Amino acid sequence: MSTGQCRAGDRTYVIRLARPEDLPQVVALDVEITGIEKPEYWNDIFGRYSCSGDETNPRASKTRLNRFFLCAADGDKVLGFIIGEIRAWEFGSPPCGWVFAIGVDQEARGMRVAEMLFQAVCDRFRKAGVTKVRTMLARDDTLVMSFFRSQGLMAGPFIQLETDLAP
């Protein structure tokens, strides 16, 4: 299931659901961005989100239809990915879209890959009846902060709190 072709200069790529063969490239891209190798995490995410958003897939439950793992691909080459889901009633919040992972290959930056991925996941949120999208990121991640602000996101009504559990 493809969401359509995107063009950047002389290159064309598609935004589509993630496939099993994409996973090694997604893992490698995440290592490139974060410096942390975590294949178990990505295998778990793929298992929970792989058929999500595909109404034609018999494995897709209602819950899974509210989860989206999309890739931007030029042929077999993954240029970027985005993962999001619809969450409801956490701390009184009505259903809203959450983007919790996005990554773009450095060679594909400037090709509007992140923008197209974000718009594709937002289109899926809208189709499900959601009217708001949220994300969370590190305060010092200025690149990702700038991207999300360029897409119209700004500070929301919630604050994140945490504490160490180690003795």
Name the token pair of 133. 């999208």
Query: Whole-model pTM above 0.85?
Result: yes
pLDDT of residue 36: 97
**d(C-alpha 109, C-alpha 114), whole Å:** 8
Closest CA relative to residue 118, chosen from 90, 86, 80: 80
pLDDT of residue 150: 96
What Å distances lie between residue 32 and 73, 94, 103, 124, 145, CA to CA?
17, 35, 10, 28, 18
2-150 in CATH: which number? Answer: 3.40.630.30
Cα–chain center distance at 155: 19
pLDDT of residue 1: 44
**d(C-alpha 34, C-alpha 137), whole Å:** 13
Q: Domain limits of the chain?
A: 2-150
Q: Can you give the pLDDT of all 167 residues of the chain as single tens digits? A: 446 788 777 788 999 999 999 999 999 999 999 999 999 999 999 999 876 555 565 555 454 679 999 999 999 999 999 999 999 988 888 999 999 999 999 999 989 999 999 999 999 999 999 999 999 999 999 999 999 999 999 999 998 899 999 98
Q: Where are the beta strands (DSSP E) in 31-139?
A: 67-74, 77-87, 96-104, 133-135
| 47 burial level (CB within 10 Å; 0-12, 13-18, 19+) | exposed
**Phi, psi of 60, rounded to the nearest 5 degrees:** -80, 105
